[in-house]
Chain A
Amino acid sequence: MRKNQVAVVGAAETTELGIIPNASQLQLHADAALNAIADAGLKLSDIDGFATAVETPQQVCHYLGIKPTWVDGTSVGGCSFMLHVRHAAAAIEAGLCQTVLITHAESGKSMIGKLPRSTPPDSLNGQFEAPYGVYGPPSMFPIPVLRFMKTWGITHEQLASVAVVQREWAAKNPRAMMKDPITVADVLNSRMIAYPFRLLQCCLVTDGGGALILTSADRARDFPRKPVYIMGTGESVETPMVSQMETFNSSRAFKTAGPLAFKEAGIAHKDVDHLMIYDAFAHLPLFGLGDLGFMPYEATGQFIADGNTRPGGKLPLNTNGGGLSYMHSGMYGMYALQESVRQMRGIAPAQVPNAKISVCHGVGGMFAASGTIVFTNER
């Protein structure tokens, strides 16, 4: 795909984030969509392309009254929205549609109109993982981390510092769910969830949603907001079974998606002003820093513990507070994209001065899938 041919011209989250007891999951999709439409100065009838995950495109399109000529229902977990951005950019460039709306919403906490997640007993996961007591992401996502720590010499304190640094960012963000400062000791003394991870190393569980609107870069000039260009994109999948990853020392999906996006954007790591790495659990930023090639894996833990990713650090990371402190409805990728767009527009609550390139890296399932988007505000 050619870089900077497509731009984000509308971006918004749901009116409320956190605990939303008065709206169904489907209504949260609509709330985010209507906010994004207003942000872009468009009408619903201007939308001719639509993408969403978990909920079907037909469900959300019918509820909103959208009549699309292009849809994408790619549903690979929390990074689905990174893949939607990539697919939408390709579709717009190919002339299949002009204006794409991407929605995410999840009643993750209040569970109103939330679709059930189930593992059939005759699926491979049902036969070869479920019988051993896996029960939700906290019991599965951290399974690789002890091996990763042993191979690369990462300490428990370094992994705790991920949560501490992100709380510093969250403190600057009025919409963040958790804003009180925490220390490494607080993290290591919080209640055990799945050793080695404790409560403060696991994501929040909240309600919310978000939506993006994309169109061609040529049209983007006529919109009210500063366009944010899609500079590079990548995607991949590996396995739905965490036990079957090629290795626990890295993620194959990350190592495929990330470098694809960097190559397409034609950028080097030193060009990155702002970085989002989907942090459902505290080890993900370490995998991300290594798999995306920012540094050797051995250096990732100390890099964060030394404060390089904190406010004022040389590589601002997860500047909304992340899934650990900002919000996490279950599929966090949309909120990472929203923060990248805010940073590129220059309107983030914890704005990185003069940021011109933002890398937004997502995970789906337990390292099952990955999507990476490079954004820029300069064409």
Chain B
Amino acid sequence: MAEPQRARPKPTPETQHFWDGTKAGELRLQRCDACAHVYFPPRPFCPSCASRKVSIFKASGRGFLYSYVINHRPAAPGFTPPYAIAVVELDEGPRMMSNIIDCPQTPEALELDMKLEVAFQELDDKITLPVFRPAKG
């Protein structure tokens, strides 16, 4: 029997650019051309001012640990507990859910406000997930 697989995102027309970006090693966000609001998740209009004039840009990939849980049970398919489910606040403003790699999954190691940087985890030939690790330096 095959190992249970981690949930795979399936892009839509509105989110394809984001998943194209992660495959290319870029974390892409959107900025409103009218009011400069930076937002996530992707959509082809500004959720702040409703303008349809928006641009896609490469984000810095830097942020900090906003909050998290360390999940023990029940574990999602494809995960070995305990594992942290984190929310990262990006330097550009938006927050996103993620996992923290290269770091013990413990309350002692996972300090709120610790600096993080993006890394990319290839799930298959279609999907590469953005995850985060403690920032160097």
Query: Is B69 on the interface with A (CB-CB < 8 A)?
Result: yes
Tell me whether A243 is interfacial, beta carbon within 8 Å.
yes
- CB A346 to nearest CB in B, in angstroms, measures 41
Q: Which residues of chain B in 1-46 are interfacial with respect to chain A, using CB atoms and an 8 Å cutoff?
A: 6-12, 15, 40-41
Closest Cβ of chain A: how far from B43's Cβ, in Å? 9
Cβ–Cβ contact B67 & A195, under 8 A: no
CB <8 Å contact, B82 and A195 = yes
Known contacts A130-B7, A131-B6: does B79 contact A150 (CB below 8 Å)? no
A144 at the interface (CB under 8 A from B): yes
Q: Number of contact residues on A: which range applies?
A: 35 or more
For residue A136, which residues in chain B have a CB less than 8 angstroms away from its CB? 74
Q: Is the CB of A143 within 8 A of B69?
A: yes
CB-CB under 8 A for A121 and B7, given A194-B71, A194-B72: yes
Contact B9 A143 (CB under 8 A): no
Distance of A241 Cα from B82 Cα, bound (Å): 22
Interchain CA distance A195-B105 in the complex, whole Å = 10
What is the CB-to-nearest-CB distance from A357 to chain B, in angstroms, rounded to a whole number?
Answer: 35
Give the shortest distance, in Å, between B127 (CB) and chain A (any CB): 8
In the bound complex, residues from chain A placing their C-beta under 8 Å from that of B68 are 143, 146
CB distance from A255 to the nearest CB of B (A): 19
User: Interface digits, B61-75 against A, CB 8 Å rule (1 contact, 0 not)?
Assistant: 000001111111111
User: Do most interface residues of chain B lie in helix, strand or loop, or is the interface mixed?
Assistant: loop
Q: Are B9 and A127 in contact (CB under 8 A)?
A: yes
The answer to whether B96 touches A128, judged by C-beta atoms less than 8 angstroms apart, is: yes
A151 → chain B closest CB, angstroms: 9
Please name the residue on chain A nearest to B127 by beta carbon. Answer: A131
Question: Which residues A232-250 have CB closer than 8 A to chain B?
Answer: 241-244, 248
The verdict on A142 contacting chain B, using a C-beta distance below 8 Å, is yes
Within 8 Å by CB of A122, from B12, B41, B75, B87, lies B12
Set of chain A residues within 8 Å of B95, measured between Cβ atoms? 243-244
8 Å CB contacts to A: which residues of B94-137?
A: 95-99, 107, 112, 123, 129
26 A-B contacts (beta carbon < 8 Å): A121-B10, A122-B10, A126-B9, A127-B15, A128-B9, A131-B7, A131-B9, A131-B123, A132-B86, A132-B99, A133-B85, A134-B71, A134-B85, A135-B71, A144-B67, A146-B67, A146-B69, A150-B112, A192-B70, A193-B73, A195-B69, A195-B107, A196-B69, A197-B69, A241-B97, A244-B41
Q: Which residues of A contact B (CB under 8 A)?
A: 119-122, 124, 126-136, 138-140, 142-147, 150, 191-197, 241-244, 248
